[in-house]
Structure 1
Amino acid sequence: MAADASPSFISQSPEFHPEISVSPLTHDGLKFWQFMIAGSIAGSVEHMAMFPVDTLKTRMQVLGGGGGVGSCSVQSINVRRALGSILKLEGPAGLYRGIGAMGLGAGPAHAVYFSVYEWFKEVFSGGNSNNSAAHAVSGVFATVASDAVITPLDMVKQRLQLKSSPYKGIGDCVKRVLMEEGIGAFYASYRTTILMNAPFTAVHFATYEAAKRGLMEVSPESANDERLIVHATAGAAAGALAAALTTPLDVVKTQLQCQGVCGCDRFSSCSIRDVIRTIVTKDGYQGLMRGWIPRMLFHAPAAAICWSTYEASKTFFQQLDGSKDQ
């Protein structure tokens, strides 16, 4: 993130400065490729650490079809029962099906995500680190770019996560989807993903920057000593809030990515309205909030892990560059 604001910056109003021109090669004391590496490390650590919770969320979100957890109904399923069913029927390995696909996609996608975010944040904020609007808009640009990278592998990951998934692995899933459904199937949820992640990222980045700034102002004399705690706490708050607000669109995304597999509904189009109508008809409006608890349980610690890892990686590069200059 941007360096802490000086008093002269704090006194400025948070206005957009899109006319500001910055070099894409350096920002915040780091080069563009260093942001990419820091983001790649952060994204990989985040998703690998929290993958079992993501599997629970996926299973709970497809309960309207046949890809759910055991024989539990939509009304009775909860996180504990979902976890117990997976462990009983599939063992611990069932929580990690599809992790290879996420491993392949998380690094490149987050490299794009954070580097694009940092570049646009510098462009729009005009050096004002209090500019929440610039943080939000920069986050939207970041997610549009990164989702183009992660969506195909996210689809593969979610299909492998399903109960009794018919696919043997990543290669088998990619091959069969290409042959049976065409390349468009990999991007069937892209529009929904963008519509979900744009507000998610806007809320996430704006909340993170505001929470981080607020936490540092509470105890400025010890801010440097407690940077890890500050980044983790601000990240957790941002992740939890953004996850709760965007759960309905995440359910729609999961339905589109898993359609026709393991008894899940198949849709005649990728229309968000049609998917929502189908979910509401079958399960009521509560069906749109399926998996919201594991989604929050995923994104709160995941964001804490991601942001603290990302900021630590940035600090490492800043210190490395500083030692070279001496």
Structure 2
Amino acid sequence: MAADYRTRDRLLPAAAAEEPTTPPDHPPKPVLSAPATHDGLRFWQYMLAGSVAGVVEHTAMFPVDTLKTHMQAGAPPCRPALSLGAALRNAVAGEGGALALYRGLPAMALGAGPAHAVYFSVYEFAKSALTERLGPNNPAAHAASGVLATVASDAVFTPMDTVKQRLQLTSSPYTGVGHCIRTVLRDEGASAFFVSYRTTVVMNAPYTAVHFATYEAAKRMLGDLAADEESLAVHATAGAAAGALAAAVTTPLDVVKTQLQCQGVCGCERFSSGSIGDVFRTIIKRDGYSGLMRGWKPRMLFHAPAAAICWSTYEASKSFFERFNEGRRK
């Protein structure tokens, strides 16, 4: 039987009887050996719980994400920057009406499910390993775990995020996910799907560090006030606070990411390189420093409830699997 990998504070009583005692002449296995379980769940269960949480989160908040893309993508110099209301009117004015707010939803689903599966399983793996070394409830362990998780998941999600953003634009030249992928491959090459990966990681690393550290801290604080620290209300409230704060801090990098992904489409400006610094300078020269905060309102409107939905769905899925595993042991 593989080594048990649950943290000490949630170690299941049955595990002690199942796990053979390590002989004194053999050193313990390293913490990063491949685990079978952590917190009573197998890692495929974390992946499935994370996948469900990601799809539910992004589907529920997709129209807000579409408005953010419209505001951040940029426009030719002769057009003013879009306000939130103008972005909404612009999005629904064309073909499809209100349904246009959901353009690109299939691309999101194809990317978000696998990406969140990677995200949460890497987070749980890293958190367990780091808290073993740094102690429980250590903010540095939570932040570092989040950064490792986002670097892995962004590699999975970035190509489909590029497709999604291009489909979200008004008068997008693409008829669907398959057409967009084929056209970009033919005209721009496979590297176009990853042109924003570096920016995405640079953005999501601090976003995730702030998010997870805030989430774990808020959950502990709310747990002291609530009867049950693991209630869905606590997870949702802590998640919303973490999402809103992290979104506000990282909006400038999100603007850069969006403009790199949408460059050359529907009149959006094309950049000579994928350098974050070059895009920053171009935005500041064209729109001033306020251009770096374009779309901050829908971004916060997206991430606060999205994080609440994601964390509560994820924790509910974990609880389901815990009950499922407990039932199988009986």
Shared fold (TM-score greater than 0.5)? Answer: yes
The answer (yes or no) to whether the contact 1:155–1:258 under 8 Å persists in 2 is yes
Work out which of the residue numbers 66, 81, 85 in structure 2 matches 1:80: 85
- C-alpha distance in 2 between matches for 1:65 and 1:101: 26
Alignment of 1:1-326 (within 5 A): 20-21=31-32, 23-65=34-76, 73-74=80-81, 77-90=82-95, 91-126=97-132, 128-219=135-226, 222-223=227-228, 227-326=231-330
Q: How far apart are 1:181 and its partner, in Å?
A: 0.4
3-state DSSP of counterpart to 2:211: helix
- C-alpha distance in 2 between matches for 1:3 and 1:227: 20
- C-alpha distance in 2 between matches for 1:3 and 1:55: 40
Q: Which moved more, 1:189-198 or 1:87-96?
A: 87-96
The answer (yes or no) to whether the contact 1:35–1:115 under 8 Å persists in 2 is yes
TM-score where L is the length of structure 2: 0.88
Residue 16 of structure 1 aligns with which residue?
A: none
The answer (yes or no) to whether the contact 1:20–1:124 under 8 Å persists in 2 is no
Moved beyond 3 Å, runs of 4+? 2-6, 19-23
3-state DSSP of counterpart to 1:58: helix
Amino acid at match of 1:271: S
3-state DSSP of counterpart to 1:130: coil
Q: Which has the higher contact order (CA 8 A, sep 6+)?
A: 1
Change (3 A) 1:132 1:108: same
3-state DSSP of counterpart to 1:133: helix
Q: How far apart are 1:85 and its partner, in Å?
A: 2.9
- C-alpha distance in 2 between matches for 1:246 and 1:27: 31
Q: Which has the larger radius of gyration?
A: 2
Change (3 A) 1:28 1:149: same
Tell me the alpha carbon deviations over residues 124-174 of structure 1, each in whole angstroms, 9 at most, x when there is no partner: 011843111000000010001000000000000000011110111111100
The answer (yes or no) to whether the contact 1:22–1:122 under 8 Å persists in 2 is no
> How many pairs were matched up?
304
Q: How far apart are 1:217 and its partner, in Å?
A: 1.1
- C-alpha distance in 2 between matches for 1:4 and 1:238: 26
The answer (yes or no) to whether the contact 2:108–2:164 under 8 Å persists in 1 is yes
Tell me the alpha carbon deviations over residues 72-96 of structure 1, each in whole angstroms, 9 at most, x when there is no partner: 622xx32223213322334111101
The answer (yes or no) to whether the contact 1:53–1:297 under 8 Å persists in 2 is yes
3-state DSSP of counterpart to 2:94: helix
3-state DSSP of counterpart to 1:126: helix
